[in-house]
Structure 1
């Protein structure tokens, strides 16, 4: 069945993807958490890295547990019971982290859009701790929703149609908000009367959104369609691999965008991340938009206050 997908030869590759992604997200967490002052946008990125790291850890534990059953077989009888319970929780935790990532990407997309279209209003009226509050609200609301589904599943209550419908509507609304805000932001910067360069963080997050639509949304949709039709949230092997790639790709995007200079890739990981995340902090003090093309930002420009 679908639960045995890691028995395939590709399980080693999947484990490699998980390790690679956890290392990448761990580097992002270390850099944003301890190496630079946080600004409104990097607070969202930090929370997104937490969600991606946690999901990859779940996948890694799933494959490791399956190896113990199918290859090692150590203390099999007692472990199988624990592993089956882990599988039940795993299915819901995966959806929790994917929906949280969707909410966080939507929040950063909308805030970026507002900062571009209404820069003066954004600078003067934005609450100081808005990013942290919004991130906390998304974590709490998605956690409460997924917990409700899990409790109904645990106690045998048949509310799958309601939960599946609510989750699909939630996902569609957030996806549309994320898509519209990014399109509006790009149009404003590139097609307005004063064309402006997108900036590295803008490019990085647009790429994050594109990859999420390509490989993250199928995971969410497939999971809740399974819940609707069979009362089982477990997912197909293909969508699980796509979810692994979705959680692993963001650090690669940050590095490639940050290290790209005049169509060449150069610089250390630390330098690349600095170019992506610190550039936005400087540009916010200049009025909410990235700097016009051809104008360099001076290193002495003050940054946003720490969240």
Structure 2
């Protein structure tokens, strides 16, 4: 949205951002807070509460398991970083819930900027980490001997830090353009592009390209290579790690694509019905936020078959789901190294 750039926005932002709070628009769109009397608004609040509870608990569990219960590895480094990103985002969801219920931003100017930035740090860090994981898998399959020697926890940690720094850098526009203004007796946290009108389009398009198009192109390319290579060599029988990663990527795609579509539609808001655009932006923002609790759910339910899930405890299931990937890759690397060794003796 740029009006709904995050889950802390409401549909009314749209009216005020684009029209600079003109007297005409103020008259047309003046209304009293009625969120708790509207089914749609109450539903979105309920969804946000569920996302908050599941996301906070689920990601905390993933962080605890990968950080304290499992042997530290490159794989646990990737997944713990994803969980930390989602956990931080979910921890600030109560601000969104209060904002939607009160239709008033009561948390001040700094939190308006900070809360909005968190969503984009979460978005960019998540997609960048998925790209890193995909490239890591591709390199492990294409160059198994090199990967076995070079894939270290220290290097993985450096890559994670770089991904986070890049995500923070791309989230700077929220720190710059988010603003708080009083209107009709309420405080509104919105994107103020009035001084730089062209920046609205620049920010929206750059986020779509950097946060969606380019990453997914790289991910699809990497997985295409992995699938072809593994099918040709038939070096692994387990499909579990690939189901987990495919599910994570699919969840990100489903959660974030509608959001970006409506963000781009908003650039031409004069051609679309305002109520449809505003409602779509609210729903798509909640859908995007849902990605933060889906990751730990996928760790649990994609790691084992149905019967095993009910025979084992929750912690064991999550540990097994994440550990299986590392074991499968390790077996693949070991077999590849052995084959490469035998091949070199014949040369």
Please give the range of the TM-score, normalised by the shorter of the 2 chains. 0.7 to 0.9
Q: Give the equivalent residue in structure 2 for 1:56.
A: 90
Q: CA deviation at 1:32?
A: 0.6
How far apart in 1 are the matches of 2:297 and 2:307? 18
Q: Give the equivalent residue in structure 2 for 1:255.
A: 300
Q: Give the equivalent residue in structure 1 for 2:161.
A: 136
Q: CA deviation at 1:125?
A: 3.3
Unaligned runs of 5+ in 1: 71-78, 292-307
Length, aligned pairs only: 277
How far apart in 1 are the matches of 2:148 and 2:319? 23
**Partners of 2:255 and 2:288 within 8 A in 1:** yes
**Partners of 1:164 and 1:224 within 8 A in 2:** yes
How far apart in 2 are the matches of 1:288 and 1:195? 9
TM-score, with length taken from structure 1:
0.77
Q: How does 1:94-243 map to 2 (within 5 A)?
A: 94-126=119-151, 128-152=153-177, 156-158=195-197, 159-170=199-210, 171-189=212-230, 191-194=231-234, 196-223=236-263, 226=266, 228=267, 236-243=281-288
The RMSD of aligned alpha carbons is 3.1
Superimposed CA distance per residue, residues 241-300 of structure 1 (whole angstroms, 9 cap, x where no aligned partner): 211321111111111123426687431112112212222333444343899xxxxxxxxx
Secondary structure at 1:286's aligned position in 2?
helix
How far apart in 2 are the matches of 1:61 and 1:197? 46
How far apart in 2 are the matches of 1:63 and 1:289? 50
CA distance 1:258–1:128, shift in 2 (3 Å): closer
**Partners of 1:283 and 1:289 within 8 A in 2:** no
How far apart in 1 are the matches of 2:304 and 2:204? 42
Q: CA deviation at 1:208?
A: 0.3
CA distance 1:90–1:2, shift in 2 (3 Å): farther
How far apart in 2 are the matches of 1:89 and 1:117? 41
Secondary structure at 1:34's aligned position in 2?
helix
Secondary structure at 1:288's aligned position in 2?
helix
How far apart in 1 are the matches of 2:121 and 2:263? 11
Secondary structure at 1:9's aligned position in 2?
helix
Larger deviation: 237-246 or 84-93? Answer: 84-93
Secondary structure at 2:236's aligned position in 1?
coil
Larger radius of gyration: 2
How far apart in 1 are the matches of 2:89 and 2:34? 17
TM-score, with length taken from structure 2:
0.69
Q: How does 1:35-54 map to 2 (within 5 A)?
A: 35-54=69-88
Q: Give the equivalent residue in structure 1 for 2:59.
A: 25
